[in-house]
Structure 1
Amino acid sequence: MMIPLQFEFVNPEFFWLFLLLPVAVAWFFWKYKKSTASVKLSSLKGFKTSSNWLPKFKPVLIIFRLIALSLLIIAMARPRYVDNTSKIKKTEGIDIVMAVDVSGSMLARDLKPNRLEALKSVATDFVMERPNDRIGIVIYAGESYTQVPLTTDKNVIVNAIENISYGGAIEDGTAIGMGLATAVNRLKDSPTESKVVILLTDGVNNSGVIDPKIATELALEFGIKVYSIGLGTTGMALSPVAINPNGSFRYANVPVEIDEELLKEISQLTGGIYFRAASTSKLEEIYDEINKLETTEIEEFQFTSYEEKFRPFLLVAGGLLLFEFLLRITLFRSFI
């Protein structure tokens, strides 16, 4: 990570010397007047006048000297550029598998536009905020399968999330045990120390051949932490109850049933936390909370280099003083 160059003065206290410049100006002009003789004559008739312009430019020597002193003060303040460069060394990241319920009830409209679409939006933001981690996607309903194995390619993950839909591709139902077991299977051989499953469902375990408690024991055996999320409002929700002849869903208010006791037990046994998301904003807060809880440690090395800029001021000041000295001993031939 590159930080823009910063300009600074190492010894800015030398700028107080600028307060002495008015004194130096007064002293130089006082010396100049004393070194210039004057004769009062009533008339210049009989004298040959000269149009020599050199005396008129003699004060330029004082100006050169004052500019040189100003440049010396700036040089003593040590102007320089500071270049701060940070290099980040990524340590071992976290492997995360999101197990997403895609049963028909995920089309309920208590979250806008529905539970599944709200989840996809929030999950996409979560993925983009985990640049150092490998993430996989498991979807389940009455069965389960891996949609995306663990990968660091965020584009692949985001595209997979966008393509999650309820289309009857797998048997309907809610096989929480199979969804969790498939996620555990994807993580069990991971070499990372931190392995996490985000288990999301809006129902109760009512299908599948693997009991959720057996899947929990597998997660515990392989050191996998499970954050479970119960998705849906409390009470009634407008949910699909049938399919119309034209293929559209028929909706009706049905009770929201989430096996919260099971989800709490799964998370508690594996060291995770259970969350209830009754709204899209609450779902966003939950993913933010998980994002904060599961942080990836990184090492940051900062390198600082300095580019001193006082030398040009010294060179110009020295050049002006030398030029002023040469003019004084040649063209003007006087000491001021």
Structure 2
Amino acid sequence: MTLAHPGWFFLLLLLPLMAVVAVIIALRGRGRWDRFAAPRLRGALIRRSGMLPRWLSLFFLLAGCAALIATLARPQGDVGTKVEKTKGRNILIALDLSRSMRVDDVSPDRLGQAKIVIYELLEKLPNDRIGLIGFAGTAHEYAPLTVDHKAVAETVGQIDETWAPVGGSDLTAALKLSIQILKKTGQKNNALVILSDGEENENEAQLNAMIQEAESSGVYIHTIGVGTPQGGYVPNPDSRMGQVEENGRPVVSKLQPDVMRKLAEETGGKFVVANGGTNIPAMVEAATRDLDSFEMKGRERRIVVEFFQWLLLPAILFLMISIISGTRWRGLRMALLLMGAFFIIQPEARANDATEAKKALEDRKYQKAKDGYHRLADDSKLEETKARYRIGEGVAAYRNGDYREARSAFSGAMMTDDPKVASSAHFGMGNTLFQLGWQGLADESYPAEPEDVPDLDRFETLVKERLAQMKDSDEESAGRSEDFIRMDSLMMNWADAVRHYDSASRLDATNKGAVQNRDTTMIYLRKLKELLDEGKKDADQSMPQQGQGQGQQQPGQGEGGEGQEGQGGKGEQDQPGGEGDEKEDRNGDGGDKEKEESKSKGAGDPNESAEEKARRLLSENSDLEKGPLSQGRVDQRPPKKDW
């Protein structure tokens, strides 16, 4: 038997000192009360307790401390050593170290993104031998194939583009070195993982030869593209502009996946793009699962048996006996009763409050239920429990018609990690936002009974009435009327409601109500857009046509163009009527004015009409049924890649 921490035994020297001090204190205090009472009154005034409980308490205290000190010393039994043996595969990682890997079109940059992928691979494949090579203009082995993933991770953390002695991106050299390293393992099947932003290969014959050699050597190549098709400028700290330049222009580097896709497809591997939503470690693990595994000899591990638990339990028991034997129970009894009552009554009171709030909700006493759930949520310490009480508060406020209070309650319930609770919160928020929009349109709540649900004809009538009121209000006030604000809030609330329904169904696939309510909301939104488009069409047809002479429209001018004020030849502006003047108007100030007007309205011009504002809002939220939009970038073809 050995001790892992024998130094703790020096504390045993304190135990005799503690015993001597305790005896001295007991003897000195024994006759202290005798000085305050006459001998004949001592029996009545002084209540003496027996010394046995005190000495037992001291004994068990010292024994418990001794056992606890022995526990801290950690006695161990040495069984021997064991050589770890695991079954794994050979996986070599080739990392691009060219300067283009510092482009920041992905976060933090391409090299940083590639390192994150490597760390995830090391964590996902703990039993495989993994090595690392870096390549730019040449290729070099930086970490041999090993099961010591910690050493490989340290190398990955330090490596950067300055480790490459020659610039460029020679993918053929990386393939050649990788195949040589994997051949030396003697295994039939091995995997090569290449992380790069790609390149335009100039020597296709040499690349095809390396692909054939990889196939004959049993090397399966998996390629991972790092970067975006839009690309970014290649940084250069030594340059005045901080970018790599060629012919006076900054160089743009883009992800070029063609060669990497070819390598993967022709060797039986897979090609993916990092940061593209694919679980790359899981993909590599599945792709390498069918490779031949072999038994590897790992580290020697010393096997010990811990005995500290055999001393820890007696130490705890001795300390408990010491406390019990030395306690005067008369004063402690009331304290224990109060503590027990506190721990029993508080949960019971909270349970009673929750029951009362639930009963009030069932009895349709919504205000009482809302207040009860609100107090429970404020008093709760657990976030999940608090979120459930917030949902109860939101349901009570919703049924009571207090939609703004319901919105606040459901918003607070979303701060939870439980997907079902969060789904319920999003569902309640979607219903609340829909009701707020409907109230703004019809001045009443949307009916809950199926037989009272309004049809599209009723909805069309309500919208047309509101649009007519908006038009009259705009003509009178020339500003944002109350009807305008109602229609604006309607569209924004319903658009947000659709998003919350989507979140509810995504968090909980069984939430069919969210899907149904989303479809209903989208039907109303589409119908609203149709009615607004019809109103715009009627307004355009009723507007006078611009032109010359008897109202004939000039070629090249649309309705309501900026070229003329009225229907006459020149209008009130001093403009010649020739063809050259029309071109000047289209390319000069008139065109600039149209651009400025269009730009200002796209950002929310306060002078735009109510119907224009409504159509713009619907257009901005029309992507609810579309996928994510890709960012645009000017397509520049980069020059020959030698960086």
Normalising by structure 2, report the TM-score.
Answer: 0.30
2:213 corresponds to which residue?
Answer: 218
1:261 corresponds to which residue?
Answer: 258
- Select the residue among 289, 293, 302 that pairs with 1:295: 289
Q: Deviations over 1:111-149 (max 9, x none)?
A: 111110121122112112211111110100011111111
- Select the residue among 273, 278, 286 that pairs with 1:276: 273
Please, which moves more after superposition, 133-142 or 185-194?
A: 185-194
Distance 2:160 2:202 in 1: 19
Distance 1:138 1:208, change over 3 A: farther
Contact 1:173 1:207 in 2 (8 A): no
Contact 1:180 1:199 in 2 (8 A): no
Q: Relative contact order (C-alpha < 8 Å, sep 6+): which is higher? A: 1
Distance 1:169 1:260, change over 3 A: closer
Please state how far the C-alpha of 1:250 moved relative to its aligned partner: 3.2
Contact 2:231 2:255 in 1 (8 A): no
Please state how far the C-alpha of 1:291 moved relative to its aligned partner: 2.2
Distance 1:211 1:170 in 2: 23
- Select the residue among 164, 175, 178 that pairs with 2:173: 178
Distance 1:94 1:239, change over 3 A: same
* Structure number having the greater helix percentage: 2
Please, which moves more after superposition, 94-103 or 191-200?
A: 191-200
Contact 1:140 1:174 in 2 (8 A): yes
Distance 1:148 1:298, change over 3 A: closer
- Select the residue among 159, 166, 173 that pairs with 1:164: 159
1:131 corresponds to which residue?
Answer: 126
How does 1:1-336 map onto structure 2 within 5 Å?
A: 92-167=87-162, 169-205=164-200, 211-241=206-236, 243-244=238-239, 249-250=242-243, 254-277=251-274, 279=275, 282=277, 285-295=279-289
Tell me the SS of whatever aligns to 2:108: coil
Distance 2:265 2:175 in 1: 15
Contact 1:176 1:201 in 2 (8 A): no
Please state how far the C-alpha of 1:218 moved relative to its aligned partner: 1.6
Distance 1:243 1:110 in 2: 20
Please state how far the C-alpha of 1:290 moved relative to its aligned partner: 1.3
Contact 1:103 1:141 in 2 (8 A): yes
Contact 1:139 1:147 in 2 (8 A): yes
RMSD: 3.1
Unaligned 5+ residue runs, structure 1?
Answer: 1-88, 300-336
Please state how far the C-alpha of 1:209 moved relative to its aligned partner: 12
Tell me the SS of whatever aligns to 1:250: coil
Q: Deviations over 1:207-249 (max 9, x none)?
A: 899932222122111111000122111123243156236xx94
Amino acid at match of 1:290: V
Tell me the SS of whatever aligns to 2:234: strand
Please state how far the C-alpha of 1:101 moved relative to its aligned partner: 0.4
Amino acid at match of 1:270: T
Tell me the SS of whatever aligns to 2:100: helix
Contact 1:94 1:133 in 2 (8 A): yes
Please state how far the C-alpha of 1:168 moved relative to its aligned partner: 5.8
Distance 2:142 2:205 in 1: 19
Distance 1:201 1:276 in 2: 10
Distance 1:121 1:224 in 2: 24
Distance 2:181 2:130 in 1: 10
Amino acid at match of 2:272: F
Distance 2:285 2:164 in 1: 31
Please state how far the C-alpha of 1:184 moved relative to its aligned partner: 1.1
Q: Deviations over 1:159-205 (max 9, x none)?
A: 11111101164211010111111111110122334300001211315
Tell me the SS of whatever aligns to 1:211: helix
Distance 1:209 1:218 in 2: 14
Q: Deviations over 1:312-332 (max 9, x none)?
A: xxxxxxxxxxxxxxxxxxxxx
Count residues with an aligned counterpart: 206
Distance 1:249 1:263 in 2: 29
Please state how far the C-alpha of 1:251 moved relative to its aligned partner: 7.1
Please state how far the C-alpha of 1:152 moved relative to its aligned partner: 0.9
Unaligned 5+ residue runs, structure 2?
Answer: 1-83, 296-643
Contact 2:231 2:254 in 1 (8 A): no
Tell me the SS of whatever aligns to 1:196: strand
Distance 2:204 2:236 in 1: 25
